[in-house]
Amino acid sequence: MGYPKGIVSESEKVVEHKHPHVKMLFVPILTGLVVLGGGGWLAVLARDLDEPWDMVTLIAIGAVGLIALIWLVIAPIARWRTTHFIVTTERVISREGVFKRTGIDIPMNRINSVRFEHSLADRILGCGSLIIESASEQALEYDDIPSVEQVHSAIYFQVSENEYADDPTEDA
């Protein structure tokens, strides 16, 4: 899935586009397997009940299982899929959310510093946190960015390019 249409102007080029690392999906997928396994086990136990309670129990198990799957599995996967971190030649763009969308754009010329952090587990998985300090008072932290060092370098390069493009002494 590409980034949301209409957020990148014709004059800018996308340098990096990332979704959060797939490690965010480990718990929802594991939860889905537990819900399906537990529901199947309870359905087998419900066969031993007398009529009509066996059917009532199966319907209740199915309804609770479906709600659990939607809430604990499908919703996190949809959130992951609709979360975008985009670096263009002019700005850093972050968009997230399914029903309630939130986003922030940081122009490259407003970025003061960019750094990354990753634990040993993050290094093994190839992701980390990206911290962008801009003209605002509080630094913005983006967690679970895949190839965080590559994204860090891309942002740093674009910030440097924009500094030189705005510097009138470089025309000589």
Asked if residue 165 has pLDDT above 90, the reply is no
Shortest CA distance to 134 belongs to which of 155, 161, 113, 103? Answer: 113
* Cβ count near 170 (within 10 Å): 9
pLDDT at 3 (0 to 100): 65
Q: Sign of the C-alpha dihedral, residues 40, 41, 45, 46?
A: negative
List pLDDT tens digits, range 112-146: 899 999 999 999 999 999 999 987 778 889 999 99
CA dist 111 and 108 (Å) reads 5
List pLDDT tens digits, range 17-61: 999 999 999 999 999 999 999 999 999 998 888 888 888 999 999
Evaluate whether 144 touches 24 at the Cβ level (below 8 Å). Answer: yes
DSSP state of 113: E
Asked if residue 88 has pLDDT above 80, the reply is yes
The tokens for 103 are 């986003």
Q: Which residue has the higher pLDDT, 171 or 115?
A: 115
- What backbone torsions phi and psi does residue 107 show, to the nearest 5 degrees? -65, 145
The number of C-alpha atoms within 13 Å of 55 and in the hemisphere containing its C-beta is: 2
The β-bridge relationship of strands 111-117 and 84-88 is unpaired
DSSP state of 66: H
Average pLDDT, the chain: 88
Evaluate whether 88 touches 14 at the Cβ level (below 8 Å). Answer: yes
Q: What is the CA radius of gyration of the chain?
A: 23
Query: Which neighbouring-strand residues pair with 111?
Result: 134
